[in-house]
Every structure is written in C-alpha cells, then in structure tokens.
Structure 1
Amino acid sequence: MRIAVASQNFEDVTGHAGMARRFIIFSAEPGQPPREAKRIELAKDQTIHSADPEADHPLDEVEALIASSAGGGFVSRMAQRGVMTVITSETNPAKAVADFLSGKLAAPAPHDHDRDHEEEGGCCCGAGAH
C-alpha cells in the first residue's frame, strides 16, 4: 500500500492539502513498518486545487493521503481519484502512517470552521451542517 502525507517542510504533517505542493510517499507491506519511498514536489498548477481532475496526477499512485486539514472539495477530488483522505492531529509523518495502518491515528485538531470553510471549500470534520 502507498500512503501520501502532506508535508510542506518534509518534516511535519501539514494542512491545506488542496494547496499542498510537497508530499512524502510511504510504502507499507503487511507485517513491516512503513518506509519512506519517495518525496513529491508538485508544480503550482499540479496542486489538487488547481489540477485538471481528468488528467493523470502524481498522487494517483496512492491509496490514502494523510494531512492535518483538508476541505470538502479536496476530499471529493481525491475520492474521485480513488484516494481516501485522512485528517489527523499527529505531526510526525512516519508515526501518522504507522498509526493509520494500526487503526490508532489521532483525531484531527479543532479548527476555525468559518476560516477553513472559506479557504478550502468546506471541511471534512463532519461538524455542523455544510
């Protein structure tokens, strides 16, 4: 299984996934700890927010994507690509992947719904009517 983690600095799990340009790709094999397979740096026009939803994309190779925040539009676009989006408060990319695989990934951090909804087309936290 391949899992992408949004990481603008290649050190921490970061948010605003629709505009993110840097991702760490992890490879996970049953019974093995996940390992970093590669890093992706997208051009500005390749962010999911800007990319053509019909065109091939570098993130198409993953089954899941972990970030600290993502809007509803991002979640929908990734689902159309066959990629599950997972939001977490965990900041360490490798730990986030390991915890996701074991079903123990930390819940997302609380956030400002008004700001997040405006900037990312809605959030995927499930709070309130959207």
Structure 2
Amino acid sequence: MRIAVSSQNFRTITSHAGKSRRFILFDISPDGTITERDRLDLPKGESLHDTRGPEHPLFEQGLTHLLTGGAGERFIERMATQGITVIQTSETEIDKALSALAAGQPLPAAAPHEH
C-alpha cells in the first residue's frame, strides 16, 4: 500500500484534502512495516482544488490510498479516476492511523464534509 496523508503542518492528519498542499507519503508493506517515503510541499496554486486534469504531482507517486480528515465528493471521485482510494477519519495522529491501517483495523469516521 502506498499512501499519502494530507498534513498541512507535517505533524497531524488534516482535512480539506482538496485544498491541502502538503502531504506525507508512506509505504505499508504486506508485513505491516510502515516507511515514510517522501513529503510533498506544493506551491500555491497546485492544490488539487486549484488544478484540473490528469496531471498532478500526487498522481505521479503510485498511490493506492489517500488518508485525510475530510474530503468532498468530487475530490473522492477524482482520486478514484486515478486508482486512489480516499480514507477519511477523525483520527489526527498519523502514526496511530497508519498502524491501524497496517493491522487491518478500522479508523474512526470523519465528520461530515461541508463547504
């Protein structure tokens, strides 16, 4: 599993994934090992909310999942067209959420997304 975590502060899981410009990229191996791979700090104007089409730095990472505190329906649909499953959670601790995913455990549900 290759997963991007929306994290505007590079410390916690943050919401509004479409407007986020900061992501931490992780690999979770079949044995549950979690490895941080990279960090994306996109310039203004390069959030997914601000761009259109199939080209975006996130789409070049080979992601299977994106973990966030919240996302809109259009964002989720756009990720699906790239083969990326969006996981929304109210958990804010990155390590805790990734450990749960690696163990196949459910995460607490995110609050409903509103604009």
**So what's the TM-score if we normalise by structure 1?**
0.79
Aligned-pair Cα RMSD in Å: 1.5
Q: Spell out the pairing of 1:53-64 with structure 2 (5 A cutoff).
A: 53-55=53-55, 57-60=56-59, 61=61, 62-64=63-65
Identity of aligned residues (%): 39
**So what's the TM-score if we normalise by structure 2?**
0.88
Report the 3-state secondary structure (helix = DSSP H, G, I; strand = E; otherwise coil) of the residue aligned with 2:86. strand
Based on CA coordinates, which of the two structures has the bigger radius of gyration?
A: 1
The whole-number CA distance in structure 1 between the counterparts of 2:85 and 2:110 is 19
Q: Spell out the pairing of 1:27-66 with structure 2 (5 A cutoff).
A: 27-55=27-55, 57-60=56-59, 61=61, 62-66=63-67
1:8·1:20 contact (CA, 8 Å) conserved in 2? yes
Tell me which stretches of 4 or more aligned residues in structure 1 moved more than 3 Å: none
| Unmatched runs of 5 consecutive residues or more in structure 1 | 120-130
1:45 is aligned with what amino acid?
Answer: G
Q: Normalized per residue, which structure has more strand?
A: 2
Q: Normalized per residue, which structure has more helix?
A: 1
